[in-house]
A and B are shown apart, each in its own frame.
Chain A
Amino acid sequence: MLLALDTASPTVTVALHDGTDVLASATAADGMRHGEQLAPLIQQVLDRAGARPGDLTAIAVGAGPGPFTGLRVGLVTARTMGHVLSIPVHGVCSLDALAVEAVESGTVDGDFLVATDARRKEVYLASYDARGMRTGDPLVDRPAVLATETPVVGEGAVLYPDAFPNARGPMRPDAAWLARAVVGERVRLLEPEPLYLRRPDAEIPRAPKAVLSDVTPTP
């Protein structure tokens, strides 16, 4: 039994798949409360399917790209559960689940792109073939730089209609589709490592006068 989860967007999404079908799924979309919502949602889908953690045989987790704080909640949850239960944990590019859903639900035919909100007026973007297989590494950049007439799936397109006039659904990753994509071997499995695509913000303070400047103290 596969547990699938994704926290790379403002939506927290969890699903349980028994190899044949999705048994239960749940999402919470009321903003950035991943840390609070994820564990209760997992408990909820397990309960609804009448399953226990010990019934799980694998975990699939959205590896991003996505806002880092939420992304890490999903990854550390998946890794820790995998460790406790001694089951494999697979990372999946979060844009890939959107691509498979778009192909299967018929919102695209032919090559397309997937774009999600990267904040700071940027999007995460990757390109896909007509079958929904990713044809390159995901990247992050300003919409104006990536502007295209090609169909673009995901929230990144509707946020920047000038750059992406040809927007399509779905908008955000859904764990039910992540689960189907993994079970159907429609996506590349990665290590459960975050796809940050950005370096951490950090500035090295100048040495002189630094005593009067502020740094985050060590509690």
Chain B
Amino acid sequence: MTTPDEPLVLGIETSCDETGVGIVRGNTLLADAVASSVEQHARFGGVVPEVASRAHLEAMVPTIQRACDTAGIQLSDVDAIAVTHGPGLAGALLVGVAAAKALALSLGKPIYGVNHLAAHVAVDQLEHGPLPEPSLALLVSGGHSSLLRVTDITGHDSGVDPMGATIDDAAGEAFDKVARLLGLPFPGGPHIDRVAREGNRVAIDFPRGLSSRRDLERHRFDFSFSGLKTAVARWVEARERAGEPVPIADVAASFQEAVCDILVRKALDAAASEGIEDLMIGGGVAANSRLRAMAQERADRLGIRVRVPRPGLCTDNGAMVAALGSTMVSRGRAPSSLDLPADSSLPVTEVLAG
């Protein structure tokens, strides 16, 4: 499977609450070690940056060790280090960036500071081989909802071009907030997905943001989930005020249907408008079973191929960073400098740091 002339790359991810260390050779995944501090944030209903940063410091060296053990390699075998240098939580990113520099410095190997969002797209190469270029990428997570036209995943020559994005909440954020409203634990995505299986998807007709004709003129490929979240809140509150039980499964299923419908509709519209025949879906929300099924079903009808990594690779991890780093190496991109900063608001177009 792997050949020794393919680069062996270690990737580090600490943009939020997962400490991820992945190791790949070429497009072959060798290790994907993740330590999560999600339990520590659950009672706060969201990620607490300082708690996440403390956890990254404690988890870093053990997670590096675990990844090496799983991959059966020595650190000295590694050809390059890749690290998420943005976007994300500033203090959390810094722990990963500093650790990556320490590795690069001690090993005398190059470092590649890469974009977290592009890494969510690149990770699919570990499962389905090289990404077709162009591809249309739908990137959906707790922090982002974007449609990207990808002609070069390393970002070369405007290779990652944003066509649209959320104008308010991210899709994953809407899942978290609606989950909280329904009394489901944080993070909300997996719980809504589970509960929705018992519910009726068409029980409640929740709004599809930015889908009216007028909105489509200005925001054809943009998303809005704030109105949907508020609509769910109002609907639930009205039921409670009337003293009626809240049909949690139906609310979850109908909400999820509204989110997936608008995501898939706009993604396929974007692909069709660009004449792109490959749709890639990445990010934590891509783990959602309804989104995967709906995208496949509707894309099949249009003759568009769909690539979605398995759920474990959709959520934040180090393998995705290693995958993008590996592509940087094999395409001969210049490594980043040792004074690489962490950039919490790094734009998606900047895939590789100078």
Contacts and interface: CB of A to CB of B under 8 A. Distances in A.
Interface string A62-80: 0000001100110111111
Contacts of A216: 46-49, 89
B54 A77 contact: no
Interface stretch (B194-202, B262-270, B334-342): B334-342
* B: contact size bracket: 35 or more
A81 B106 contact: yes
A200 interface: yes
A163 B255 CA distance: 58
B301 interface: no
Interface stretch (A96-104, A144-152, A180-188, A207-215): A207-215
Nearest to B236: A211
* A: contact size bracket: 35 or more
B47 to A, nearest CB: 5
B174 to A, nearest CB: 9
B238 interface: no
Contacts of A30: none
Given A40-B338, A218-B141, A53 B106 contact: yes
A80 B61 contact: yes
Interface in A71-97: 72-73, 75-81, 83-85
Interface centre among A42, A72, A212, A216, by most B CB within 10 Å? A216
A39 B101 contact: yes
A137 interface: no
Interface centre among B64, B65, B105, by most A CB within 10 Å? B105
A218 B106 CA distance: 32
Interface centre among A78, A84, A194, by most B CB within 10 Å? A84
Given A68-B53, A211-B181, A219-B316, A83 B64 contact: yes
B273 to A, nearest CB: 27
Interface of B: 15-17, 43-51, 53-54, 56-57, 60-61, 64-65, 75, 87-91, 94-95, 97-99, 101-108, 116, 141-144, 169-170, 172-173, 176-178, 180-181, 187, 229-230, 232-233, 284, 316, 338-342
